[in-house]
Copies of this chain bind each other. A is one copy, B any other.
């Protein structure tokens, strides 16, 4: 995985993102060089290699998928009015709202331009997969915004939202990598399902770590979702398990924004603990992890071919097979 990640990093280092007018492209270059884990290009290239592809074949597809992902972050940060991304000012803060809108739009078009840069027999399938994924990511963001205004969101609805907002793009990246390598149809379906379950496990774990993570490992303050009144899987799980009285209390807490948020975070974690929330979310993560593993196992390739993806999954989810 480290070698592949270095390749991905090198591809980005070698690519030029600034053109004229520079007012349009500087925020794009800034965004694409902020770093991040580069998970999507990593998955795309790993899937491609697994099915016998080669780095050069998916060089621009790797840039394309990450450019799309960064475009969604850029617009999401504007919609959510987030001040920081990866510890740096977000584009709409560093520049302005119009710059965030237009540079984002341009990145979306650039993503297609990267995919189109190399001819490929399966181009229609590749771009159809990418486009369907893009639309689903937008739908996921809309459900996320809808859910902020609702107080009756179910766990199933939440799962469907994170499937659209997060999982389909990991799955799409894997599928596109496999399509470039002309993998067999049933394996393409398996790798897509692997990505969906991996994505769900990854997002649920992100929810869990926000409340229970080791600050040193997680890299950000815990309890932020609680402070932000974000109705995560934990919140919905606790609501489902709690008594009517506690349910009312939890709903009320998630409508408040006290000056000193520490008592609020503490009380919510007490409620989560009393409702066994952590264990239940871990169960859900395990279930997605196992489903991902089964999908990977279904792929008709020797184990050593699957080792890199197995490795990425272990690293992302912090656990072994």
Contacts from A to B (Cβ < 8 Å): 20-21, 23-24, 75, 78-79, 98, 101-102, 104-106, 108-110, 112-113, 116, 119, 123-124, 127-128, 131-132, 134-135, 138-139, 141-143, 145-146
Complex CA distance for A102 and B139, rounded to whole angstroms? 9
Contact of A102 among B106, B108, B123, B138 (CB under 8 A): B138
Please give the distance in Å from A278's CB to the nearest CB on chain B: 31
Chain B contacts of A142 at CB under 8 A?
A: 21, 23-24, 102
Asked if A75 meets B123 with Cβ closer than 8 Å, knowing A112-B112, A139-B21, A142-B21, the reply is: no
Given contacts A21-B146, A105-B138, 11 further A-B contacts (CB under 8 A): A21-B139, A24-B139, A78-B101, A101-B101, A102-B138, A108-B109, A112-B127, A113-B128, A116-B124, A123-B123, A127-B127
Chain B contacts of A113 at CB under 8 A?
A: 128, 131-132, 135
Please give the distance in Å from A195's CB to the nearest CB on chain B: 19
Contact of A108 among B98, B108, B119, B127 (CB under 8 A): B108
Asked if A145 meets B98 with Cβ closer than 8 Å, knowing A105-B108, A108-B108, the reply is: yes
Docked-complex contact A131 and B116, CB < 8 angstroms: yes
